[in-house]
Amino acid sequence: MAPPSLCRRRRPWQDLPSELLGLVLLRVPSHASRVRLRAVCRLWRAAARMQSRLPPLLPWLALPDGAFLSLPDGELHHRVVVLDDYDAAHRLSTGSMLFLVNSNEGCSLLNPLSCEKTAPRIVNLQCLSTRPGILLEVDNIRKVVVVSDHVTAIRTGDKMYFRNLTISVRRPESSNLIWRWMPGPDDYSDCILDIALFQEKLYLLATTRLCAHPLRLYVVDIMGDNPISIHCLFTNTPGNDMDRWGDYDLLPHYLVASCDRLLMVKQNRKVQTELPNRGLFEVFEAADMSSDGGWWRKIDTLMGRALFLSEGCSESLPAAGDQCLGAQDDCIYFLSERGNYDERTGRLYSGIYNMKEGTVSPLPLETVADHGNPFNATWFFPDDT
């Protein structure tokens, strides 16, 4: 048996120079691998914190069965969070958090990596009911945006009467405030397409169900103790938005904050697996938002960034540049969530759209649609690892 002094001797790998560890981190392909590297020992963890210019990694896919799929390595994480432990009837991603709807009609935000709930942001599901006696189907909650520590915005979908925006505000030492807005005939809009947080303000994109009127961009004033208000910034429809999925279904439109630009992404048609897909997506920038003459300006570059789109969560990330581990420049990573799958393969219509080449390539690993599961596949962006 080795003497105790030898057992306590420092191992050679503990003394790796921080510069060498930085080179290793540059080649680590996933968030989980970065976490494992930092967990080796205290010295490695300290050296990893000194690396301030690590390339951004691809997000995870939150799968319908509650597991997380790491990209691009394809590692599955089944025990990150067990949703049955939280009595979850519905789940959405808000970016780096999960919004859970419980069977007792309560809602909460959960960090799946630490399994800590954020109690100050808990929302009562009953506030989403718009008419007495009408119950809200939990899967009709389409998107949740956390505006601040005490403000949560929820967009409901197009089932029954629920095509509106609900904002829950928890103010210190006062009663909770519930504010609801639904487009009406006077607004020439009856369908909210998307909501997004941009420069600490909440923006909303709306139109009519049959595109009889142009798109309208709204801004919601929430901050401070003043009453919540909403006003239309501009009315403008770029391109031909008369195209539809069918007689009643709109093509997807997404609002995405990308650095100092508010972008709208319009999907022009379904993905055609055996045909060219040039023009599948168009990207527009909200221009002249501070004036009365705002408009949507078409752009052909994301300026060194990539977009990740899904109905419940959309984000913009810096491209990885010469690194092959992260997002590709001028590419749109998309997930079509609700019932939009290839019946032959059972897989979601998802992929990577290259704006410059007009081509669609598969995601590093295809995502199978679980049609019997209440959850949808969506993007999840772990906190910086």
For residue range 248-307, list pLDDT tens digits in order. 346 789 999 999 999 999 988 766 555 556 778 999 999 998 877 789 999 999 999 999
| CA 183 vs CA 71, 162, 186, 190, 243: distances in Å | 39, 11, 8, 5, 21
Q: Which residue has the higher pLDDT, 33 or 103?
A: 33
End-to-end CA distance of the chain: 39
Average pLDDT over residues 14-26: 81
Amino acid making up residue 54: L
SS3 content of the chain, % helix, strand, coil (to 5): 15, 35, 50
Closest C-alpha to 239, from 295, 189, 311, 301: 295
Does residue 227 have a cis bond before it (omega within 30 degrees)?
A: no
CA torsion through residues 323, 385, 307, 310, sign? positive
Question: What is the DSSP track for 140-171?
Answer: GEEEEEEEETTEEEEEE-SSTT---EEEEE--
For residue range 174-219, list pLDDT tens digits in order. 566 778 887 766 655 567 889 999 998 999 998 876 555 578 899 9
Residue the block writes with tokens 């309560």: 106
Between β-strands 116-117 and 60-62, what pairing exists: parallel, antiparallel or unpaired? unpaired
State the DSSP code for 368: B
State the DSSP code for 326: S
- With beta carbons less than 8 A apart as the criterion, state whether 355 and 330 touch: yes
Question: What is the DSSP track for 83-101?
Answer: GGGGTEEEEEE-SSSEEEE
Amino acid making up residue 237: T
pLDDT value, residue 263:
98
> Structure pTM?
0.84
- With beta carbons less than 8 A apart as the criterion, state whether 337 and 376 touch: yes
For residue range 25-73, list pLDDT tens digits in order. 877 877 888 878 888 888 888 888 877 777 778 898 888 777 888 887 7
Closest C-alpha to 64, from 260, 350, 361: 350
Q: Which helix (H) or strand (E) holds 43?
A: helix 42-49
Q: Which helix (H) or strand (E) holds 318?
A: strand 315-318
